[in-house]
Amino acid sequence: MSLERSVDCFMQEAELRLMLRQLPVVLWAVDLNLTFTLSEGRGLSQLGLTPGQVVGMSLFEFHQTTDPNVPVIVHHRQAIAGETVDFEFVWQGREYQVRLEPRSTEAGEIVGCWGCALDVTDRVTVERRLSRSESQLRAIAENAPAFILVVDQAGRILYINRVQSNRQREEVLNATINDFIPQNSASDFHAKLSQMFVDNLPFVMESISEGPIGEQRTYQARIAPFPNEDGLPRALVIATDITKTRQAENTIADQQAKLLHVARLSTMGQMVAAISHEITQPLAAISNLAAACSFVLSQDPSLDPRLKKYVNSIAEQAERAGSILSGMRQFAKRGESKRSNGDLADIVNSGVSLIRAELRSRRVALHMELPADSLRVSVDAVQIQQVLINIIKNACDALDLVPNAPRTIRVECTRSESKAIICVVDSGPGLDENVLKHLFSPFYTTKPDGMGLGLSICLDILAAHQGTLEARNNPDGGACFRIGLPIIDASNDAGSGECGADHLSD
């Protein structure tokens, strides 16, 4: 080789080394004995090395090992054997992406291998942080109580954070919003969605959708523009289940309506008391005139005797009407609860007399079974009658549910140890187990037009009397309501007392 050619080769090699030292990588070469023959690149400085510093050092010495099975040694032997090897390697706390390739002569003979390592520590750190951030965001989205969706301009679902238990994710991702909401809501949604892409402003709407077990659920959705890399129109939909909220609002509105109805009933009670008071006077006049007519008829034996009988009947019916009105006035009257000692059978008979007309109009046969011995109790008779009437009316309502069954109600008065018991037994369909659990709860009702207050008030009345109220189903069908009241001793059966509790009325 001429001197000039040697100088050119030297200059080219020097320029090449200069260029290699500017690259942000570590470059090296080893021979067949795994001894370094080259080490260049700006990346050496991060390892505390200078170009050419490790030339002549063996790979084992550099990595401070004698084990031929160390992965980095194995990879170099693979490259010397003719393979291209890519792997990741950690050295002195830095992460490198490494490639090894066979190094050959012009004749194709392998004389070692080349190595190139790129420091990817910063990139990998950022990628791991992004991955953790994405995992955290994914966990937040998947566990959010709301449904989070991304849809395109046509309403096709591109992403959903979770699906209902009765659906598959693939099924939802191949569907559109139209498949999950009513037609009228779908039309409204698409109109507002198109306008949102024009105005770039979010909107809110409510819709009904089917729940996991086929029930109707109410959802409130907020829809907003969703930026994305491809620039295509996308929308973010966050749908929250507000079914319980709406049900609570409806329940509150219903209870408010019922309370207004209670107020109206209270007003009607006052009107009943006033009207019955006014009618009492003409009834008294009828009774007095009937007595006068009876006296006149008794003075003339020649008159038809049936006239006196009829006049006496008029007087009896007038007195009976006055007694009924007096009971109604006391029943509707609000004020202090006044207790007196009395026979339970008399109290029951008086209460039933107030409802007999309704029983006849509803074609209900009432059977009374009263004890021969007196059961003395200290109660507010009007309140106990109120309880009895309420239960009998409920029994009548139960009979209406089975129109072809016998329409009978049985009222029994018995004694059980120190308590007087009133049982109201009907031949209706009985009570559902779930109904029995909530039967005495305020505002619980099974009637379309019921208020759910009657039995709750009855329970309060009996509690104020140290009594009890129970409900159960009869083995032979129908329901039985059992009222228990304390029996007073004969030694205490001498007077009456007052209770300061306000009178409760349905």
What whole-number distance in Å separates Cα of residue 334 and Cα of residue 332?
7
Higher pLDDT, 190 or 329: 190
* pLDDT, mean of residues 71-81: 94
CATH class assigned to 144-241: alpha beta
Residue 21: predicted pLDDT? 57
CATH class assigned to 3-125: alpha beta
In the block, which residue shows the tokens 């959903």? 160
In the 8-state DSSP scheme, what is residue 176?
B
Closest C-alpha to 396, from 479, 472, 504: 479
Question: In this predicted model, what pLDDT tens digit does every residue of 120-130 receive, in sequence order?
Answer: 888 888 888 88
Residue 491: predicted pLDDT? 54
State the average pLDDT for the chain: 81
What whole-number distance in Å separates Cα of residue 378 and Cα of residue 384?
11
Lowest mean pLDDT of 100-109, 140-149, 411-420, 491-500, name the range. Answer: 491-500
Strand bridging mode 234-241 / 147-152: antiparallel
Residue 20: predicted pLDDT? 56
Closest C-alpha to 76, from 89, 93, 92, 94: 89
Residue 261: predicted pLDDT? 66
Three-class SS of residue 333? coil
In the 8-state DSSP scheme, what is residue 167?
S
| Domain locations in the chain as residue ranges | 3-125, 144-241, 247-333, 336-502
441-449 LR contacts (CB < 8 Å, sep 24+): 443/255, 443/258, 447/397
Is residue 23 pLDDT above 70, yes or no?
Answer: no
What whole-number distance in Å separates Cα of residue 93 and Cα of residue 242?
53
- Fold: same for 3-125 and 144-241: yes
Q: How far is CA 128 from CA 25, 95, 258, in A?
A: 22, 13, 61
Question: In this predicted model, what pLDDT tens digit does every residue of 219-260 receive, in sequence order?
Answer: 999 999 998 777 788 999 999 999 998 888 888 877 777 776
**CA torsion 471→472→476→478, rounded to 10°?**
50
Residue 496: predicted pLDDT? 44
Is residue 425 pLDDT above 60, yes or no?
Answer: yes
In the block, which residue shows the tokens 């009570």? 431
Is residue 454 pLDDT above 90, yes or no?
Answer: no
The helix (H) or strand (E) run that includes residue 209 is strand 203-210
User: What would the CATH number be for the domain defined by 336-502?
Assistant: 3.30.565.10
Task: Tell me the pTM.
Answer: 0.43
Question: In this predicted model, what pLDDT tens digit does every residue of 27-67 receive, in sequence order?
Answer: 899 999 999 999 988 888 888 888 889 999 999 999 899 99
Angle at 204 between CA 198 and CA 205, to 5 degrees: 110
CB-based contacts of 79, cutoff 8 Å, min separation 6: 85, 100, 101, 102, 113, 114, 115
What whole-number distance in Å separates Cα of residue 243 and Cα of residue 224?
22
Q: CB count, 10 Å around CB of 191?
A: 10
Q: CB count, 10 Å around CB of 352?
A: 18
* pLDDT, mean of residues 464-481: 87
* pLDDT, mean of residues 112-139: 85
Q: How far is CA 204 from CA 188, 189, 462, in A?
A: 11, 10, 52
In the block, which residue shows the tokens 């002549």? 56
User: What would the CATH number be for the domain defined by 247-333?
Assistant: 1.10.287.130
Three-class SS of residue 374? coil
